[in-house]
A and B are shown apart, each in its own frame.
Chain A
Amino acid sequence: MRLLPVTLATPLLLLASSAFAQQAAAPAVQKTLNIPAIVMFLTFVAVTLGITYWAAQRTKTAKDFYAAGGSLTGLQNGFAIAGDYMSAASFLGIAGLVYTAGFDGLIYSVGWLVGWPLIMFMIAEQLKNLGKFTFADVVTYRLQRVPMRTLAATGTMVVVILYLIGQMVGAGKLIQTLFGLDYTYAVVIIGALMITYVMFGGMIATSWVQIIKAGLLLGGATLIAFLCLLQFGFSPEEMFKQATIVRGSVDAPNLKIMGPGTLVTSPIDAISLGMALMFGTAGLPHILMRFFTVPDAKQARRSVFYATGFIGYFYILTFIIGFSAIVFITKNPDYLDAAGKILNGSNMAAIHTSGFVGGPYMLGFISAVAFATILAVVSGLTLAGASAISHDLYANVFAHGRANEQQEVFVSKMSTIGLGIVAVLLGIVFEKQNIAFLVGLTFAVAASTNFPILFMSIFWSKLTTRGAVIGGAIGLFTAVALVILGPTVWEEILGYAKGSSPYPSKYPAIISVTAAFLGIWIFSLLDSSEQAKREHAAYEAQDVRCQTGIGAEGATSH
């Protein structure tokens, strides 16, 4: 894989660039049937469908559907959170990046991980105490219902759809490569399975698919890393030494892969990148919901603790696998194409390595888990999008809170089907598109719209509806505009000359997040309406509840 000058330091981007790399290699892709992989894959699908059926028996209320009835334990939810994080993109992408660039892969892992502790320290306690389980529920606690629900649902839908397109295209390409399936079929299969999981099982099924997948992925990665290290007598130093020799020679080992390269060069880019990563994570709707699938604050905290541990451990494993891949794959003709490049792109480095150290069944197992990973992430996203439609738009805006629970769950299920179809269609339409830009946009939007409103509504008493709506809209438009004016879209997609992009950086967050905060602040202060005064007055009660959780019980049953 050519080291894409980074648009956004998320492993998801790697998925994007992987799709790219695979597109370039597409004509050379061999459509061979991998029988062990398909057996493993079908087994996994059967098991997860069984779980969905089991979960459907237990999904009776809206709270069950959206938040698994608050019934998961801290450990289970920790696995589910880790599952949301350990996407196929981070597994295949980071291992692939380490394979290509060595040390630089670690920068991604680290950046991706630190978002969680920050969410925990700053806003998780308050959100859990408030007892509201979607972004819109939180911000309408004291602000006006209709404009805030509409804004929240719009932001959520934009984020979910952009994110879904990226995942669908990436997944389609991955499956096309792994199973030799046609791209269109691969995307349709993912869409159909996703609809089935979400529609019948809701959050309980989605959570359990995540939990099982996270367990399998952790177990599988541990086993591969173990088998890799076995080859080096369990000495990381030996692994590094051989890697530098393979990439150089015995007399002149290539030491470049052992230190930072070219991923992050300017401090402004570094800060901007960090902002998008951290704040974008806090603003992603499917991540926020994970705080509410456990019964109390203790379990919520415990789940974040376990998740941070699992994710950190997992990233260390991918680092080991990536470096082992350098040793095993770089000069192994079995895994190279005619041009001497790694077969099907560097994102297959982890898959090739699993086959090298563990044989075809290991390869099949990892392939099946990788597929399930995408499916699970996509399901979580769809669920968040469906709840934005049914809960925010339908129940609260159109029906003005008069819809009953059955109607709401029904609308939610219809929305799931709709979103699934939209995702499949866009996935097919965007097959040849640069999805890096879509994923970049996703994070920029989440960090620039949802996060500032969420943060201000919890910490700032003078926030008003007008300020939130105008500031949020400014953040949304600024983020979208800067992504379009930045080098990724301007030069690589629109084809203008290199260096001609009006906005020089690939990272819009530093500008768009600041603009959103400023907009919210200024327009809230300028707002002297009666409504604004009532919203100021309501802050006190909200703050007390955020701090203590008193009053939250009973309020969660919508």
Chain B
Amino acid sequence: MQQDLVHAIKSNPKYHELVSKRSSFGWFMAILMLVIYYGFILIIAYAPSFLAQPVAAGWTMTIGIPIGVGVILAAFALTGIFIHRANTVFDELSNQIKEEVL
């Protein structure tokens, strides 16, 4: 890519908006996912009895099961949220940049 095109893109305020929005959102989502996952793993490591208690008195199902399934659902939901935002906000900004500099 030519150097002048790089400078044209980098001097476009929308480029900086795109970069900062995407990276802060991406990292936020990544950290959220890590917190959820490692939260689950650390409970398993440190407090397994917490997960082994029944969901309610008289039940066999333990709260570990809905929590584990919840982590799977959270991974799916977070991916969905990220993609929705990428397909709307990020792509829109990215297209505007392309129109303006190319």
Contact = CB atoms under 8 A, between A and B. Distances in A.
A544 B79 contact: no
Interface stretch (A16-24, A46-54, A159-167, A258-266): A258-266
B72 A109 contact: yes
Interface residues of B, number: 56
A310 to B, nearest CB: 10
B42 A270 contact: yes
Contact of B75 (A114, A265, A297): A114
A308 B62 contact: no
Contact of A548 (B46, B75, B98): B98
A255 B52 contact: yes
Nearest to A258: B62
Contact of A541 (B1, B18, B27, B46): B1
A434 to B, nearest CB: 26
**Helix, strand, loop or mixed for chain A's interface?**
helix
For A117, A269, A301, A548, the residue with the greatest tally of chain B CB atoms inside 10 Å of its CB is A117
Interface in A80-114: 103, 106-107, 109-111, 113-114
Contact of B49 (A259, A263, A549): A259
Contacts of B3: 541
Interface in A282-337: 297-298, 301-302, 304-305, 308-309, 312, 315-316
Contacts of A113: 72, 75
A70 interface: no
Interface in B18-77: 18-19, 22, 26-27, 29-30, 33-34, 36-38, 40-42, 44-46, 48-49, 51-52, 59-62, 64-65, 68-69, 71-73, 75-76
Given A111-B37, A125-B22, A308 B75 contact: yes
A303 B90 CA distance: 17
A373 interface: no
B84 to A, nearest CB: 9
Nearest to A304: B79
A121 B27 contact: yes
B5 interface: yes
Interface string A108-144: 0111011011101110010000000000000000000
A184 B73 CA distance: 42
Given A259-B64, A301-B87, A550-B98, 5 more contacts: A106-B68, A117-B30, A297-B91, A544-B6, A547-B94
15 contacts: A114-B33, A118-B30, A118-B34, A122-B30, A240-B65, A274-B38, A274-B41, A297-B86, A301-B87, A304-B83, A308-B75, A309-B76, A548-B9, A550-B97, A550-B102
